[in-house]
Chains A and B, each alone.
Chain A
């Protein structure tokens, strides 16, 4: 799959106005979206890849060469994304909640009004994003993408087993609009407050939403317009998709300036 993107920086004071404009444009109310983003970095375990450099006399078969290239090729940062809700913030972990409650059930009763966040039940999906394709062929950012559903709960163990180490996590908060084939996401990045929490493993609990610190303290938002193309090798469809995006850019010209992103800022390769 490929995604085609355009971005715009939205100053904080324009946020509300733009929300209204987008509501008008798409003729639909926005969907609020909160996501936990865990950034993972691939690392190469010593000795895991057996390459014998030197001894160039015996030429390797092309398949072996290709395989070596794949194994030693670029490594990437990947993200594990989990949808959360507002009430997950500032709530107690399920274990404490059940410990406090008089009921000895493993889970609180259905009708229970308490706020609890169960990390073990958190849904996750793995999101791979390649570095955007080079070249000024089109005026939109194009990159290869792939998503995969992960088991619920602890993601650190499987990710470590696959050769990824946890880097950091943040929250993406924003509103989603759908406009024809285009998904518009007006978001900001929230970072976790510097508290006593160990920054290494992903948090089991989330602090209150109001304690979260925006990455951009001036209150700015980012507007992202994306079209996802299943068959990225079909130039016709890719062209059509970029034309749709450019059409939207033209439509929103007076409100925001949608532009392609700096390719290297979206570089996911591990250096």
Chain B
């Protein structure tokens, strides 16, 4: 059975023709922004989980007469480990082995290098007890006094800067999303008001035959939902290859932040909400605009 045409001749609305294009752009930009924000936050949460409960102490090899004194360096390592193991709140302190060091350097130096040829500091990985309050300032002072070649690297400070950066990007993304939402809403309002002006005689006739405002608003909402759906689907399909491309490039970057930027099932779920929300927003805006405008008519 064929669907009955709408009472309002929407086919004559030339201003409505660009609504799908606007919704398409809105979904495209909102989708990219959402994907970027979700990836950054996923990366941050992975980094936060892996390093927020740890510290690193590095010990610079001790040089005498232009040569590294292995014995003294080893003694200093032992002293540092001793201090760390006696510090309250520390669960474990382990010096990184040569093979662990090589693995760390591999992304930058490749496979063929000799660790002994490099003036690399020795690293000690320190794991903290969960929820432990370690007095880092006291630990730093103690290490400086007893082992002058050792220095404390607190990841929390570095992570704090990263969090600040990501939060700033989150804010910018939210501002961009708000701008896209406001712009699209304004365009939907403009298109709806233009259409109401064009079809004023038809609307007066519908009112005269006993139509409630809701009857007319519903027809506008259905029309807008249809136009917005077309734009939303095209916009969403446009975002997918870009996300796939960026994910592929990011995963190939070894040892960096980008490789941690994953897009999991929950993120895909949230991303799929973008076109749905765009259609809902456009439809509700059109409905609300018609209701408000008709209230001013007799």
Q: State whether these chains interact.
A: no
